[in-house]
Amino acid sequence: MKTVGIDVGGTNADGVLLEGESLLAKAKIPVDHDNLSGVIIALLEKLLGDNAGQVDQVHLSSTLCTNAIVNGEMDEVGMLVQAGPGLNPEFLDCGENLVFLDGAIDHRGGLVKSPSAALVDAALADFSAKGLQSIGVVTKFSHRNPQVEQDLARQAASFPHVTCGHNLSGLPNFPRRVYTTWINAGLKTRFQQFSEAIRTGVKRLGITAPLSVLKADGGTIPLERAEAVPCESVLSGPSASVMGALALTPREKDFVVLDIGGTTTDIGLFADGVPLMEPYGVTIMGRPTLIRALNTRSVGLGGDSEVKWTEDGYVIGPQRHGVPAAFSKGKITGATPSDAMVVLNRMEGNRERAAEALRLLLPNNPPEETAREVLLSFGQNIKRAVEQMVEDVFARPVYTVSALLERQRLEPTEIIAVGGPAEALRSELAAAFDLPCEVPLNYEVANAIGAARTRPTLSASLYANSSDGTLSIPEIGLHEEIGRSYGMKDAEESLAAAIRHLAAQAGLEGELPPVEFVEREEMNTVRGFSATGKVIALKAQVKPGLAGV
Amino acid sequence: MTKYMPRAVRKTGLILFPAFDWCITPSHPEREERLLYTRDQIVEEGLEDVDGIEFFNPELAEYADIDRVHLCAPSSKALLTESHLISAGGAIRAAKAVMEKEVERAFAIVRPPGHHAMQTVFGDRGFCIANIEAIMVEHLRRHYGVRRIAIVDTDCHHGDGTQDIFYNDPDLLFISLHQDGRTLYPGSGFQNEAGGPAAQGYTINLPLPPGTGEEGFSMVTDRVVLPLLDAFKPELVLNSAGQDNHYSDPLTNMNFTAQGYARLNKAINPDICVLEGGYSIEGALPYTNLGIILAMAGLDTSNVREPDYDPRRFVQSALMNGQIEGICQNALDIFAARKKWDTGVRRGEEVVERKSIYYDTTGFGVDQVRHYKLCPDCPGYTEVEASGAGELMHGFTVPFNACSKCQQAARDAFARAAKAKGPREQVVLQDRVADIYETV
Ligand SMILES: [Zn+2]
Ligand SMILES: [Zn+2]
């Protein structure tokens, strides 16, 4: 099986061609953010040459959607939002066209009151008069009862695009649902243009293989399916590096992945060889969302970070110094970790200039000594960030006595480092963590390899209340009646069917990776003094992992 | 950090621990499902993402934390499950978060509750075994050196356990707002219950008529609770935030609302809240808890209402208003006449109090005699003898604010009692000054 992985970064785009696990070819070209599809096609051409027809699949990790959000280039979205009682929803900040509807759905998914038709009609007429193309509809508790969102979507069917909150995620968290829906609807036009340009370009090159894009959760999704959920491709960069590290050094234990770049270091955590997920989803430009994501953290520490000397020792980052003295010409204005690496002969560069930069920090200290201290401090800073992350994971809320008593702190046994300065920092990282630190072969194209080796991910959530007689699986828009005897076994069957449905919808053929059931909750409901039924909550997922080769 | 989520005015900690795998019995009000809908509402509201609201998991309280407060027969280890240690540990975690300045305010939404658990504990009373609020108070005193504390108990049931534990403590002002004991469990909390001999007027009961709503609660808050807190000047104000005054609660007969709870909390402005009762698990708790959290954090509470809320339903009669006015006046008089220990008394004098305590969950009674040993220099130590359920507890308690003479007197009395110990009798020295719990 021949797979292509493309990773579009801030300055360069990398491509790899893999045959199974082995690297057949790699290529790199500079990125033009105004023409990402052109960049990708050019990279494919450079990478594949005449072999385009023999490729079996193409995986892309693209910054298109992330950039559109960061640069404020999303479509204006007409938002219909039913908040019901709770936090005053006025804080929700998603464009000029946000209309709050009356009525409510309660915490069990009971419809308290539908929004009044007059309000909905007036809002849609206004959106239409403004020429809006994309509509987002969200209600509180739509993961328990999607009916109001579905009704609203039907009423808005004349608009070219409608996003419903419940289709994007079955997780609770209303503000995140609103922002996710808004982002998804706002990316629609741009992603569609991108997708069309890619398809045209690929055809011209003679590539017939299926196309997928990488998601923030360390999985892939077919390009065509992504047109309906473009938000899923947001912030896929860190997931590419985490999956790349896994592909280069697969192992089944607790470990830490560091992707060390010029300005930042991305940190990922693995428990028993499986990457940890965010509890809800990514936060992008300050907006919390339900876009499923690996638990990664970006800290302002990189090769080009600014280094200062203070009474408390070295302060590294989070500001970027600019091009390090060792790699530049002209006046030397400050020091960077890269200069320290060059002074210690761990990296190519102008050693004289690097030494001079370090002398700016501590004029009376030999530059070699300053260099060693700077890198040690770099390692210590990374270690503190990792410890904080491990602590945050440990501190996530739990709701049962058994979960509280049984929870365990992640205990990393190894550090995997990738990225430009990784090799030069290896001994300091190992010393800081007091753990072995491995820098895998081909680490400079780890992200592209990660994109190539990643397999599809799927997830669905179920909420059943047998005393009300309702079942809801929001990701597939299911809301139906159930009997009193509905139990956990039934829930597993319903969810497995939902996952199959989602797989078919995504155009995934062949055998699925194993479906895993997580976060079981089962409770008897009692009214008066007699049992009336059960509340069952369950999630199913095909978790991120490496595709078979 | 972000303008996309609200920002709390006061950094507020939440210990949200619904214990989904613990119940008294499967159909008991204190069952797994109790905080399910509250958890669902809080999570759906996105409070985890609100700037300035922090979530903490509970810790496990230690048995020493329990033994500092209670005299358990046969022992705290035998009576308490892990769930009780977690519930008490949740309250302690809330106190720690505030004292160590992780947050400015904290709310322990934990179960089971605790305010019916008295000093002597023979089993489960009114869904409580360990008085989690009292355990937190003595933990605060022991580990953070706090002295003067006010507890405002806004559960619909009289906080008879908390009252019992701090009855003779003039450094603790206990104010309980509750449905009149003639109409509701536990049948106590009348205005003549005003404190032990060393703390007269430091227990203030406000028994309210069935049907009291927002207007009545506002009246007692404004006329009694706030002026008393002002006068007492506590270092910390705690709220036993029971939510069974709600109009939809199945066990009680009051008319209070989510809006009312939010306003009450804003007025009292407690440093730490601990959930007590509240059994309208779908119609009230999701909204009352949310209202309290938002009020603590200084966030907008105007949109926190029950789906069927209609303020016109809750107008109080003039007759009821008059009745509540009278209760307020009595309370003010009792507090105005408050008096700590009497410096004129002779050491060794005592005041005796007899009590019959009913344990409703399994159904047995305990007879108790408590001797308040008077002292001219401090509240004095107490000796308690309680028997029931085949156990006999004979305890000597030295309060945290005792003088050294009383501490020595209690030790001597304990040694004598230990020597004369009967076959079924357990003799205990509970010395809160030295933080010792010794049992023979
Ligand atoms: Zn109560
Ligand atoms: Zn004394």
Active site residue B116: yes
Residues of B (293-322) whose Cβ lies below 8 Å from A: 294, 299-300, 302-307, 309
Indicate whether A428 and A357 sit together in one domain: yes
In this prediction, residue A428 carries a pLDDT of: 96
One digit per residue, the tens of pLDDT, for chain A of length 549 reads 899 999 998 788 999 999 999 999 999 999 998 899 999 999 999 999 888 889 999 999 988 898 899 888 999 999 999 999 999 999 999 999 999 999 999 999 999 999 999 999 999 999 999 999 999 999 999 999 999 999 999 999 999 999 999 999 999 999 999 999 999 999 999 999 999 999 999 999 999 999 999 999 999 999 999 999 999 999 998 999 999 999 999 889 999 999 998 889 999 999 999 999 999 999 998 899 999 999 999 999 999 999 999 999 999 999 999 899 999 999 999 999 999 999 999 999 999 999 999 999 999 999 999 999 999 999 999 999 999 999 999 999 999 999 999 999 999 999 999 988 999 999 999 999 999 999 999 888 999 999 999 999 999 999 999 999 999 999 999 999 999 999 999 999 999 999 999 998 887 777 778 899 999 999 999 988 888 999 999 999 998 988 876
The range of the structural domain enclosing residue A405 comes to 299-439
CA proximity to A5, closest of A308, A453, A358: A453
DSSP A174-230: HHHHHHHHHHHHHHHHHHHHHHHHHHHHHHHHT--S-EEEE-TTS-EEEHHHHTT-G
Interface-testing mutation among A81, A90, A107, with chain B (most B C-beta atoms within 10 A): A107
Task: Tell me which residue in A288, A395, A525 faces B5 most closely, judged by beta carbons.
Answer: A288
Indicate whether B29 and B131 sit together in one domain: yes
* Cross-strand bridge partners of residue A161: A134
Determine, for residues A107 and B44 on separate chains, whether the beta-carbon distance falls below 8 Å: yes
Residue located via tokens 């406000």: B206
Contacts 24+ apart (CB under 8 A), A23-29: A23/A442, A23/A445, A23/A449, A26/A442, A26/A445, A26/A448
Task: Name the pTM for this structure.
Answer: 0.95
Q: Is the pLDDT of residue B2 over 60?
A: no
Query: Smallest CA–CA separation between A242 and chain B, in Å?
Result: 25
Q: Confirm whether A51 is domain-assigned.
A: no
Domain boundary among B339, B362, B394: B339
Query: Smallest CA–CA separation between B372 and chain A, in Å?
Result: 39
Q: Where are the beta strands (DSSP E) in B300-431?
A: 339-340, 350-359, 364-373, 382-388, 391-398, 425-431
Q: What token pair was written down for B129?
A: 């075994």
Q: Confirm whether A363 is domain-assigned.
A: yes
Determine, for residues A286 and B1 on separate chains, whether the beta-carbon distance falls below 8 Å: yes
Q: Confirm whether B187 is domain-assigned.
A: yes
For residue B376, how far is its CA from the centre of ligand 2 (angstroms)? 6
Work out the pLDDT band at B63, boundaries 50, 70, 90. Answer: very high
Indicate whether B158 and B276 sit together in one domain: yes
Task: Tell me which residue in B86, B286, B303 faces A401 most closely, judged by beta carbons.
Answer: B86
Q: Confirm whether A55 is domain-assigned.
A: no
Q: What token pair was written down for B134?
A: 């009292």
Indicate whether B179 and B257 sit together in one domain: yes
Indicate whether A386 and A323 sit together in one domain: yes
Interface-testing mutation among A112, A399, A400, with chain B (most B C-beta atoms within 10 A): A399
Starting from the edge strand earliest in sequence, which strands make up the sheet with B51-55, in order? B51-55, B7-17, B105-110, B272-275, B236-241, B149-153, B172-179, B203-208
- The rounded Cα A457 to chain-centroid distance in angstroms is 12
Determine, for residues B57 and A84 on separate chains, whether the beta-carbon distance falls below 8 Å: no
- Length reported for chain B: 440
Indicate whether A403 and A466 sit together in one domain: no
Domain boundary among A176, A196, A212: A176
Q: How many CA atoms lie within 13 A of A304 on its CB side?
A: 13
Q: What is the DSSP letter of B261?
A: H
Indicate whether B251 and B389 sit together in one domain: no
Q: How many domains does chain A have?
A: 3
In this prediction, residue B1 carries a pLDDT of: 44
Indicate whether B209 and B261 sit together in one domain: yes
For residue B277, how far is its CA from the centre of ligand 1 (angstroms)? 4
DSSP B181-240: TTSSTT----TT----TTEETSEEEEEE-TT--HHHHHHHIIIIIHHHHHHH--SEEEEE
- Whether A521 and A495 have beta carbons less than 8 Å apart is answered as no
Determine, for residues B44 and A141 on separate chains, whether the beta-carbon distance falls below 8 Å: yes
Indicate whether A422 and A474 sit together in one domain: no
Q: Confirm whether A306 is domain-assigned.
A: yes
User: Which CA distances in Å does B49 have to B94, B201, B396?
Assistant: 19, 44, 49
Q: Confirm whether A529 is domain-assigned.
A: yes
Determine, for residues A174 and B45 on separate chains, whether the beta-carbon distance falls below 8 Å: yes
Indicate whether B154 and B293 sit together in one domain: yes
What does DSSP say about strands B172-179 and B149-153: parallel, antiparallel, or unpaired?
Answer: parallel
Indicate whether B134 and B274 sit together in one domain: yes
CA proximity to A421, closest of A443, A436, A441: A443
- Whether A238 and A266 have beta carbons less than 8 Å apart is answered as yes
Determine, for residues B304 and A84 on separate chains, whether the beta-carbon distance falls below 8 Å: no
Determine, for residues A176 and B55 on separate chains, whether the beta-carbon distance falls below 8 Å: no
Indicate whether B330 and B361 sit together in one domain: no
Q: How far apart are CA A7 and CA A302, in angstroms?
A: 20
**Among all ligands shown, which has an atom nearest to the Cα of B114?**
1
Indicate whether A413 and A487 sit together in one domain: no
Query: Smallest CA–CA separation between A166 and chain B, in Å?
Result: 13
Domain boundary among B307, B339, B371: B339
Indicate whether B190 and B298 sit together in one domain: yes
Span B304-335, pLDDT tens digits? 999 999 888 889 999 999 999 999 999 999 99
Indicate whether B374 and B318 sit together in one domain: no
Is the C-alpha dihedral spanning A107, A109, A110, A112 positive or negative? positive
**Among all ligands shown, which has an atom nearest to the Cα of B378?**
2
Residue located via tokens 């999303």: A74
Determine, for residues A535 and B41 on separate chains, whether the beta-carbon distance falls below 8 Å: no
In this prediction, residue A465 carries a pLDDT of: 95
**Among all ligands shown, which has an atom nearest to the Cα of B112?**
1
Task: Tell me which residue in B20, B37, B58 faces A107 most closely, judged by beta carbons.
Answer: B37
- Whether A233 and A190 have beta carbons less than 8 Å apart is answered as no
For residue B378, how far is its CA from the centre of ligand 2 (angstroms)? 4
- Containing H/E element for A451? helix A446-453
Q: How far apart are CA B209 and CA B220, in angstroms?
A: 12
B354 in contact with chain A, both atoms CB, cutoff 8 A: no
Q: What token pair was written down for A133?
A: 């193309």
Indicate whether A314 and A428 sit together in one domain: yes
Using an 8 Å CB-CB cutoff, list chain B residues near A108. 37, 40, 282
Determine, for residues A404 and B17 on separate chains, whether the beta-carbon distance falls below 8 Å: yes
Chain A / chain B CB contacts < 8 angstroms: 136
Q: What token pair was written down for A468?
A: 């009300």
For residue B166, how far is its CA from the centre of ligand 2 (angstroms)? 16
CA proximity to B217, closest of B155, B305, B294, B308: B155
Query: Smallest CA–CA separation between A411 and chain B, in Å?
Result: 20
Task: Tell me which residue in B82, B294, B309 faces A401 most closely, judged by beta carbons.
Answer: B82
Using an 8 Å CB-CB cutoff, list chain B residues near A141. 44
- Is A343 strand, coil or helix? helix
Q: Residue B113: what residue type?
A: P
Q: Residue B14: what residue type?
A: L
B43 in contact with chain A, both atoms CB, cutoff 8 A: yes
Q: How many domains does chain B have?
A: 2
Q: How far apart are CA B9 and CA A298, in angstroms?
A: 28
Task: Tell me which residue in B21, B46, B287 faces A173 most closely, judged by beta carbons.
Answer: B46
Residues of B (113-152) whose Cβ lies below 8 Å from A: none
Q: Confirm whether A29 is domain-assigned.
A: no
Cis peptide before B74 (omega within 30 of 0): yes
Q: What CATH number has the domain bearing residue B274?
A: 3.40.800.20
Q: How far apart are CA B282 and CA B22, in angstroms?
A: 18
Domain boundary among A153, A176, A199: A176
Using an 8 Å CB-CB cutoff, list chain B residues near A107. 37, 40-41, 44, 282, 286
Q: Confirm whether A282 is domain-assigned.
A: no
Is residue A177 classed exposed, middle or buried when 0-12, 13-18 and 19+ CB atoms within 10 A define those classes?
A: buried
Indicate whether B385 and B294 sit together in one domain: no
Q: Confirm whether B41 is domain-assigned.
A: yes
CA proximity to A358, closest of A301, A316, A405: A316
CA proximity to A368, closest of A378, A358, A360: A358
* Cross-strand bridge partners of residue A452: none
Q: Confirm whether A223 is domain-assigned.
A: no
The range of the structural domain enclosing residue B397 comes to 350-439
Q: Confirm whether B344 is domain-assigned.
A: no
Query: Smallest CA–CA separation between B368 and chain A, in Å?
Result: 33
Domain boundary among A150, A176, A202: A176
Indicate whether A394 and A510 sit together in one domain: no
Domain boundary among B274, B307, B339: B339
Indicate whether A504 and A387 sit together in one domain: no
Query: Smallest CA–CA separation between B21 and chain A, in Å?
Result: 6
Task: Tell me which residue in B22, B40, B303 faces A401 most closely, judged by beta carbons.
Answer: B22
In this prediction, residue A549 carries a pLDDT of: 65
Determine, for residues B86 and A404 on separate chains, whether the beta-carbon distance falls below 8 Å: yes
Indicate whether A424 and A536 sit together in one domain: no
**Among all ligands shown, which has an atom nearest to the Cα of B377?**
2
Indicate whether A378 and A479 sit together in one domain: no
Cis peptide before A318 (omega within 30 of 0): yes
Q: What is the DSSP letter of A349?
A: S
- The rounded Cα A167 to chain-centroid distance in angstroms is 18
What does DSSP say about strands B272-275 and B236-241: parallel, antiparallel, or unpaired?
Answer: parallel
Q: Confirm whether B1 is domain-assigned.
A: no
In this prediction, residue B27 carries a pLDDT of: 87
Indicate whether A422 and A468 sit together in one domain: no
Q: What token pair was written down for A198?
A: 């890619």
Using an 8 Å CB-CB cutoff, list chain B residues near A280. 48-49
**Among all ligands shown, which has an atom nearest to the Cα of B113?**
1
Catalytic residue (choose from B70, B84, B115, B116): B116
User: Which CA distances in Å does B216 have to B226, B283, B285?
Assistant: 14, 21, 21
For residue B417, how far is its CA from the centre of ligand 2 (angstroms)? 20
- Whether A315 and A379 have beta carbons less than 8 Å apart is answered as no
- Whether B17 and B10 have beta carbons less than 8 Å apart is answered as no
Using an 8 Å CB-CB cutoff, list chain A residues near B306. 85
For residue B18, how far is its CA from the centre of ligand 1 (angstroms)? 17
Indicate whether B276 and B374 sit together in one domain: no
Write phi, then psi, for B307 (nearest 5 degrees): -55, -30
Indicate whether A347 and A391 sit together in one domain: yes
B86 in contact with chain A, both atoms CB, cutoff 8 A: yes
